[in-house]
Structure 1
Amino acid sequence: MTKVTPISGFPEFLPSDRIVELQFLDTIRETFELHGFASIETRAVEPVERLSNQGEDADKEIYGVRRLAAGADDDGPGLGLHFDLTVPFARYVLEHAGKLAFPFRRYQIQKVWRGERPQEGRYREFTQADIDIVDSGELPNHYEVELPLVIADALSRLPVPEFVVKVNNRKIPEGFYRGLGLDDVTTVLRIVDKIDKIGPDKVVERLVEAGATDKQARLAVQLADLSSTDTSFVEKVRALGVEHETLDEGLEQLSQVMAAAAEHAPGLLMADLRIARGLDYYTGAVYEIYLVGQESFGSVGGGGRYDALASDGKTTYPGVGISIGVSRLVHRLVSQGLVKGSRSTPTAVLIALNNEDDRAEAMRTAAQLRQRGIPVEVAPAAAKFGKQIKFADRRGIPFVWFSTGNGSEVKDIRSGEQVPADPATWTPPTDDVRPQIVTTAQENS
């Protein structure tokens, strides 16, 4: 018999943890819809040409798709699995622009695939939850404030530790580098974006290797070290003595975002001029979401503004989007023991059997309960009641239904209370109808 071995980077949840993930997804979806975002789903594959050139490592991370029966003379894969949801969304907008009403607000919750080196929080297959707003021609800057507020609303409805949304504007580093005389902005951005991984001294060294002077490199690193929870970052940037019109534009736009966020969600946003995002299509605001005190784990979401990703040559559709890395976030919380499902099955009631002859009646009782939205299953086999109760207990099923000489009775196996019950009217407590997310705090209370 062939031994089954796991494939790293493709996480699979056990049922109780999958319940946590599903409730996260349901809450996120409901919140997005409360804010007026419409759901779409795009195909899993896009032309490799469209997926490529979106960042330094994009080509390395794309999984190509090819038929196993393809001939030896066939070209290589022309299709690739999407590595994010923004690139396929931009294609979707172009393809369906004539049928969409702009500004178009969409959310999308799907799997994505990346050729990552698997490690904690880094997966080859994972679920993302994205929201984007795209307009035709021009996109007002106020959407750059709205999106992190929507994400904050979604996360605040979940059992998530304290978090912060760090924000920058790509025009700030671009204008700053150009003001320094560094015109290869893309290369500088990519090197500076590695500052958390390799440290500031190594970044300076690599910038000098790429053609910067020592002074230029050190100023670039000083810029990345600036942050604030208000608009004071502007004065800090000005103090570095670099001038450029693109820098001025970026500082003004980020100031507007920070000022508006301070009014609507004080403390939510932090201006952090180290944030760059590795993908090339971002042109304005860029975001990273971090769990406070767990920044070394990396971000659990992010996004930004893109002005030229969707264009048909006549009309450009600028957009801004932000995503939650659902798999990354849930796995982190589950692995730390912070959350778990209250049971491993949706079932709230197990109908016990006196003997196999009672199965038909038990199924009729189950149907009555299900008609009123109560998840039910009938015991797999007739056995001693103690054994059937143990079966329910192992799976976290809170209630067991019995047929007795006095009629139907239901037992809460947690408390031991057993009471008469009519399948046409009996209902469990609301919190027991469906599995719940249990947090560490709840268990200890």
Structure 2
Amino acid sequence: MPISGFPEWMPPQRMIEQRMLDRIRTTFELYGYAPLETRSVEPLDTLLSKGETSKEVYLLRRLQADENAKDDDSLGLHFDLTVPFARFVVENAGKLQFPFKRYQMQKVWRGERPQEGRYREFLQADIDVVNRGELPFHYDCEMPLVIGDALGGLPIPRVRIQVNNRKVCEGFYRGLGLGDTAQVLRTVDKLDKIGPARVADQLVETAGATRAQADACLELAAISAEDGSFVDAVRKLGVTDPLLEEGLGELLRVVETAREHAPGLVVAELKIARGLDYYTGTVYETMLEGYERFGSVTSGGRYDSLASTGKETFPGVGISIGVTRILGLLFGHNALNISRSVPTCVLVAVPAEEQRTACDRIAGALRRRGIPAEVAPTAAKFGKQIQYADRRGIPYVWFPGEPDTVKDIRSGDQTEADAALWSPPAGDLQPTIAG
């Protein structure tokens, strides 16, 4: 029986997921990110100190607690991959080469309310780069380019990466005279969920804003541009602050870098805040074209003090692809399909059971040359063996004989073939994904 929020894909969907992961992994490695996998559990105090997540953390407990085990109540499943990565960096700083660039592709767990595209167990694909002391800003500019390359090569709708900078928001709120900038950020982050009128009310109630200050916060959040024009739009609001200027300069660099390398990929969207408390500068959220109402499918940002030993700080910037989120939305709308339900390219027919060993040899010869092949399950009539291949979408059936022949069961074409030489067209070798 299905459990809400814990998806299980059928084999065709799982094959699509694997192809997507292959593309993402290849792209990450092309940019020099190295693979890492961290443990699934973290100390509870680590997980609870990183933003509004306490209601979402899954505890790890044994059914029968050991009275002498001190950690039975103090471990939780990680809710993202950034927090465990920061902990890993601090613990292994002496063994790492900095700047340290890594990617992780792992399951994470969040006890939020399941809905379309939102799950309690899901797969994320993250990249992060951290450094000792200071992290050059050009890495903030690289993040959207990597994501654009990774997702742009897949048969999925176009992505648009919305970028903002926390310094812009915090500097603007300070310049307005608002003291609790963190509360203002958290409230503005709810814009898409509750709308501007309720955000304004909450700014007055929870952040001590006047109506005029709340309106100014909403004016800032309404600014959006694909080029540097957002800088003038912010300045027209008449608020000044050194942190605001610093943030505008950084955000401009991200937008201009993306415009040069990937026009149309990035848009400055000044309402983006991100709910997690550890972000300190650039923040990213990505929308899937046609699926904007479901919210962000990749997100991340700059964090300057998440990884720290007390004496030493390791600032970082990262971005995370919600792999299960993207696929769940597209599967739910039948927007992705695969050409066959099995990897098999060739079914080797079995004329009679006593010939199975010879058929296994043919399949083995094909496999050694990288051609996915299986042998028919029974020596039924050839018509039934062809039906078996057809039901699974296997394009070719191989008939042992003197000589061997291979049939494309889609077109009916049948030709003589040698297992040591024959190859299918490149498009038939692996299942193909179509949007």
What TM-score does the superposition give when structure 2 sets the normalisation length? 0.97
Structure 1 pair 74/35, CA: closer, same or farther in 2 (3 Å)?
closer
Q: Following the alignment from structure 2 to structure 1, what is the Cα–Cα distance between the partners of residues 161 and 105? A: 20
Q: Following the alignment from structure 2 to structure 1, what is the Cα–Cα distance between the partners of residues 261 and 400? A: 57
Q: Give the aligned partner of residue 79 of structure 1.
A: 75
| 1:332-411 → structure 2 map (5 Å cutoff) | 332-404=329-401, 406-411=402-407
Q: Following the alignment from structure 1 to structure 2, what is the Cα–Cα distance between the partners of residues 261 and 74? A: 51
Q: Give the aligned partner of residue 434 of structure 1.
A: 430
Q: Give the aligned partner of residue 68 of structure 1.
A: 63
Q: Following the alignment from structure 1 to structure 2, what is the Cα–Cα distance between the partners of residues 259 and 412? A: 51
1:292 Cα shift?
A: 2.7
Q: Give the aligned partner of residue 246 of structure 2.
A: 249
1:72 Cα shift?
A: 7.3
Unaligned runs of 5+ in 1: 440-445
| 1:225-374 → structure 2 map (5 Å cutoff) | 225-374=222-371
What are the Cα deviations for residues 130-188 of structure 1, in whole angstroms up to 9, with x where unaligned? 11111111011111111111111111111121221100000111111112222111111
Q: Give the aligned partner of residue 182 of structure 1.
A: 178
Amino acid at match of 2:133: G
**Alignment match of 2:414 (pick from 407, 414, 418):** 418
Q: Following the alignment from structure 2 to structure 1, what is the Cα–Cα distance between the partners of residues 149 and 96? A: 26
| 1:119-134 → structure 2 map (5 Å cutoff) | 119-134=115-130
CA RMSD of aligned residues (A): 1.4
Q: Give the aligned partner of residue 209 of structure 1.
A: 205
Secondary structure of 2:90's aligned partner: helix
Question: Residue 59 in 1 paired to residue 54 in 2?
Answer: yes
Q: Following the alignment from structure 1 to structure 2, what is the Cα–Cα distance between the partners of residues 9 and 87? A: 22
1:74 Cα shift?
A: 6.8
What are the Cα deviations for residues 94-123 of structure 1, in whole angstroms up to 9, with x where unaligned? 111111111111111111111110000100
- Report how many residues are paired: 433
Secondary structure of 1:95's aligned partner: helix
Q: Following the alignment from structure 2 to structure 1, what is the Cα–Cα distance between the partners of residues 88 and 391? A: 46
Q: Give the aligned partner of residue 95 of structure 1.
A: 91
1:73 Cα shift?
A: 8.9
Sequence identity of aligned pairs in percent? 61
Q: Following the alignment from structure 2 to structure 1, what is the Cα–Cα distance between the partners of residues 54 and 293? A: 26
Q: Following the alignment from structure 2 to structure 1, what is the Cα–Cα distance between the partners of residues 168 and 268? A: 11
Amino acid at match of 1:132: D
Q: Following the alignment from structure 2 to structure 1, what is the Cα–Cα distance between the partners of residues 384 and 67? A: 60
What are the Cα deviations for residues 380-420 of structure 1, in whole angstroms up to 9, with x where unaligned? 1110111111111111111111123x331111111111111
1:337 Cα shift?
A: 2.4
Q: Give the aligned partner of residue 189 of structure 2.
A: 193
Unaligned runs of 5+ in 2: none
Q: Following the alignment from structure 1 to structure 2, what is the Cα–Cα distance between the partners of residues 259 and 168? A: 13
Q: Following the alignment from structure 1 to structure 2, what is the Cα–Cα distance between the partners of residues 89 and 309? A: 10
Secondary structure of 2:296's aligned partner: coil
Amino acid at match of 2:202: R
Q: Is the 8 A contact 2:279 2:302 kept in 1?
A: yes
Amino acid at match of 2:62: R
Secondary structure of 1:55's aligned partner: coil
What are the Cα deviations for residues 333-392 of structure 1, in whole angstroms up to 9, with x where unaligned? 222222211111111111111221111111111111111111111111110111111111
What are the Cα deviations for residues 43-96 of structure 1, in whole angstroms up to 9, with x where unaligned? 11111111112222x011111101112157977621111111101110111111
Q: Greater shift after overlay, 310-319 or 232-241?
A: 232-241
Q: Greater shift after overlay, 272-281 or 336-345?
A: 336-345
Amino acid at match of 1:159: P
Secondary structure of 2:355's aligned partner: helix
